[in-house]
Amino acid sequence: MISSKLTQYTLLFTLFSVELFGQKIPLTTNTLMVSNVTLEQAAYHNRKAIRITGTSAGEKVALVKNFEFKNGIIELEVAGKPLPDTDPSFRGFIGIAFRLRHTDSLRYECFYIRPTNGRAEDQLRRNHSTQYISHPQHTWQKLRRESPGVYESYTDLIAGEWTKLKIIVNDKDARLYVNDSDQPCLIVTQLKGEVTTGSIALWIGIGTDGYFRNLKVTKTKSG
């Protein structure tokens, strides 16, 4: 317990001992660039949001235009649920991609949640409520097969309800916090991708009806 606390405090000290600047980023059809998704302004549970749904196969992201990120804090509210009449195995996958760049292919780091797993009666499904991936090489299937239970975890979720996500990123270390918890629900101490600057993107998986609001990014000076 003490060691875990010290690790968390060390990470936060590293981030906050350098100059930080926070920025609220408006999420609109004009500030986002789409890849295999459609966007629309919407009101969801009486809150203004951007709605994202998939349009075709491939990675489904909406990139924040003209914004670069390397290290710092990303905060966002999301609400995800499976689309009506979709495959019952789909979970409403929704999350945040970062350090996204176009090289020979689309490359990014990502934390996402599976909202329908949060209160499932099956404990194994609950254990798969949160997920880290690194596209394209480290898919959830590869990570689960090679390192079971290391890159996903349980957290309480309700499908279709607003959920706060916060990711703290420092070089190879990243931590996911859900709904104002003071403890991360998922810790990755060796991110699979390069430590580099890239875009931030709203991310959904197959068969998802996704809503996003209140994006705020606090970058380190080097980010």
Region 169-195: what's the mean pLDDT? 97
What pLDDT is attached to residue 193? 97
Do 222 and 71 form a contact (C-beta atoms < 8 A)? yes
Contacts of 85 (CB under 8 A, 6+ apart): none
With CA atoms as reference, report the closest residue to 129 among 143, 144, 119, 142: 119
Do 160 and 194 form a contact (C-beta atoms < 8 A)? no
Q: Which SS3 state, helix, strand or coil, does residue 116 take?
A: helix
**Cα four-point dihedral sign 170, 183, 166, 219:** negative
| Structural domains of the chain, count | 1
Q: What is the pLDDT of residues 47-68, one digit of tens each?
A: 999 999 998 889 999 999 999 9
CA 149 from centroid of its chain's CA atoms: 18
Please tell me the pTM assigned to this model: 0.90
What pLDDT is attached to residue 7? 52
Contacts of 62 (CB under 8 A, 6+ apart): 32, 33, 34, 35, 37, 39, 50, 52, 201, 202
Taking CA atoms, 107 is separated from 61, 101, 136, 196, in Å, by: 12, 5, 6, 11
What pLDDT is attached to residue 213? 98
Q: What is the CATH number of the domain that holds 69?
A: 2.60.120.560
With CA atoms as reference, report the closest residue to 128 among 61, 205, 59: 205
Residue 85 class from Cβ within 10 Å (0-12 exposed, 13-18 middle, 19+ buried)? exposed
Two tokens, residue 61: 């992201």
Amino acid, single-letter form, for residue 160: G
13 has pLDDT over 60: no
Determine the structural domain holding residue 7 and report its residue range: 2-220
